[in-house]
Amino acid sequence: MKRVVHFLLPLCGIGMALLAWWAASAAVPDLPSPVRTWEESKIYILEPLAKRGESDQGILLLAYYSLVRVAQGFLLGIAIATPIGFLLGVSPILTRMFDPLMQVLRPISPLAWLPLGLVLFQKSEPAALFAIAVCSMWPTVINTMMGVRAIPQDYWNVAKVLRLSRTTTFIKIIVPATLPYMFTGYRLSLGIAWLVIVASEMLTGTPGVGGFLWQEYNSLVYAHILLAIITIGVVGFALDRLMGLAEARLRAV
Amino acid sequence: MRHVLKNVTLDVEQGEFVSIVGTMGSGKSTLLSLLAGLTMADTGTIVVDGTPVSGIRNDAAFVFQNYSLLPWFSAIENVRLGVEAAFPAAPPAEQRARAREALERVGLGNALDRKPRQLSGGMRQRVSLARAFATGPRVLYLDEPFGALDALTRETLQTDLAQLCAERDRPVTTVMITNNVEEAILLSDRIIPIIPGPPACLGPSIAVELLRPRTLAQLAHDEHATHVRAHVIAALTAAMPRRGRPASPDAAAALRTAEPAKATGQA
């Protein structure tokens, strides 16, 4: 009985949201109802990997394009952010040097970085990767830095009394101790990377979920906007879950 | 600025086991940290073996009160960490063998691959001891090594440590800090009470003239042990601050004149 209720409750929540959507669509003429959205979108969902034209592809294919770019930008971002986080964690001097700069750069929206990316790289793909990397690096930098700062004095004492070299201290003490914090950072960074890719695709019109959304808006096919929105949410949720699984695997080690 | 320690002179013979006994907060841990080179003195210098102390010596080992084992390494990997750092040139097989041998000596031959969270407090401290002894140190510093354990486990480990110190091929000079007088009598050649300050200083040392290794059962009935026990407790209580009266180095001085002829060392 408990299990039934356990699964029923989220379904109720979703049901209520659908109801609210339906009510809104009745009130606003341009907004398609859930039923109409399904009618107009089902071809994209039922043939997720079809490619009927550059601007007319199945939903999984579109998501795949976006994900590839996210992966590239995200990996680039954490490759830069992780060493920076370690350096800032061990050096109070460097932290003091770069902290004001970081605080100013952090809140800058991807939409502001994108034009700069276009200026630097001329083409939209590298500009998008640049925007993803720069926006998503901050949670990793900060969490990694905090992780190093949180290393208990006990572990530093071990390094001291055993007279471990700097390299050994780094590999055998600092990295394992910081790993949980690093993964928290990665999870947050991945979330931001996914946000950024949608925004940058919308701005540059490259094929992907964000590109599809903007294109359908311009083509006045509003049902597809909603399809895109739901897809973005579901994929974002799946990414977060996957990262959480990876984190849990690591903790068990 | 508060003076934690002042004018401390400590004479330790090679191979001797010296215990510094005192209450919590009397500056014992600070003294040991300074001796070992773990912390630096704000003012004044520390000279060990003729040379000023400037960091941890490479022939010294340290055992902390709270195990300080790395939780992501197994027991043998924790010990190996020490062995690798002490003998970097040795082949890995030899390093592993040393680590295993050290763990077997402390009775953990069956728990080599267990992680610290799978070990009890007493076992973790044994791993700590194994790690210290595995590096073949000439000097050993112990900071209230059994303070975090329950009384029964403590007694077992005290006896084991007594055995470990006695069965070394080379004598290891040991300085231990404890607040447990029985422990000090069991393990040491000399006991030095610390007179709380600030600034703290050392009282006159009291020799324990019994052959090592000793057992707790033996000490319970030994006449000399009883005498030493009384002497140490008297030294500690005389110097302890009472309500309305600060700690009195004079009381310790009075004790010095009353001491039996066997005691050596100075404050």
**Residue A130 scores a pLDDT above 70:** yes
**Residue B239 scores a pLDDT above 50:** yes
pLDDT of residue B240: 63
A48 vs A122 pLDDT, higher one = A122
> In terms of Cα–Cα distance, which of A38, A60, A74 is closest to A235?
A60
CA distance B38 to A161: 7
Residue B40, token pair as written in the block: 């630096």
pLDDT of residue B36: 84
**Residue B222 scores a pLDDT above 60:** yes
Are B62 and A161 in contact (CB < 8 Å)?
yes
Domain boundaries, chain B: 1-59+139-267, 69-137
Mean pLDDT score, B1-15:
76
The number of C-beta contacts closer than 8 angstroms across A and B is 41
Q: What's domain B1-59+139-267's architecture?
A: 3-Layer(aba) Sandwich (3.40)
CA distance A7 to B105: 56
pLDDT of residue A51: 75
pLDDT of residue B249: 55
Mean pLDDT score, A107-111:
84
> In terms of Cα–Cα distance, which of B122, B188, B190, B129 is closest to B155?
B122
CA distance A183 to A197: 21
Residue B55, token pair as written in the block: 């960091």
Residue with tokens 């040392």: B205
A168 contacts on B by Cβ (under 8 Å): 84-85
Q: Which of A153, A162, A170 to mutate to test the interface with B (most CBs of B within 10 A)?
A: A162
pLDDT of residue B264: 35
Domains of chain A: 33-252 (1.10.3720.10)
B38 contacts on A by Cβ (under 8 Å): 157, 160-161
Q: What are phi and psi of B113, to 5 degrees?
A: -100, 10
pLDDT of residue A83: 95
Are B68 and A155 in contact (CB < 8 Å)?
yes
> In terms of Cα–Cα distance, which of A119, A136, A139, A118 is closest to A128?
A118
**Residue A50 scores a pLDDT above 90:** no
Cβ-based neighbours of A189, under 8 Å, separated by 6 or more? A74, A77, A78, A81, A136, A137, A138, A139, A140
B73 contacts on A by Cβ (under 8 Å): 172
Cβ-based neighbours of A208, under 8 Å, separated by 6 or more? A62, A63, A65, A66, A69, A197, A201
Mean pLDDT score, B248-256:
50
Q: Could you tell me if B66 lies within 8 Å of chain A, comparing CB atoms?
A: yes
The whole model's pTM is what? 0.80
CA distance B117 to B96: 22
pLDDT of residue B241: 60
pLDDT of residue B250: 55
Are A160 and B38 in contact (CB < 8 Å)?
yes
Residue B100: how many CB atoms within 10 A of its CB? Answer: 20
Mean pLDDT score, A31-50:
80
Cβ-based neighbours of A34, under 8 Å, separated by 6 or more? A18, A21, A22, A25
Q: What is the dihedral of CA A214, A216, A222, A227, to 10 degrees?
A: -80
Lowest mean pLDDT among A207-211, B157-161, B256-260: B256-260
The model's pLDDT over B117-173, given as tens digits with 9 standing for 90+, comes to 999 989 999 999 999 999 888 889 999 999 888 889 998 899 888 888 877 677 788
**Residue A34 scores a pLDDT above 50:** yes
pLDDT of residue B258: 42
CA distance A132 to A75: 10
pLDDT of residue A173: 93
**Residue A52 scores a pLDDT above 80:** no
Pairing label, strands B51-52, B47-48:
antiparallel
CA distance B39 to B62: 13
**Residue B266 scores a pLDDT above 50:** no
pLDDT of residue B242: 58
A20 vs B4 pLDDT, higher one = A20
pLDDT of residue B164: 84
A6 vs A141 pLDDT, higher one = A141
CA distance A36 to A226: 11
Contact between A134 and A77 under an 8 Å Cβ cutoff? The reply is yes
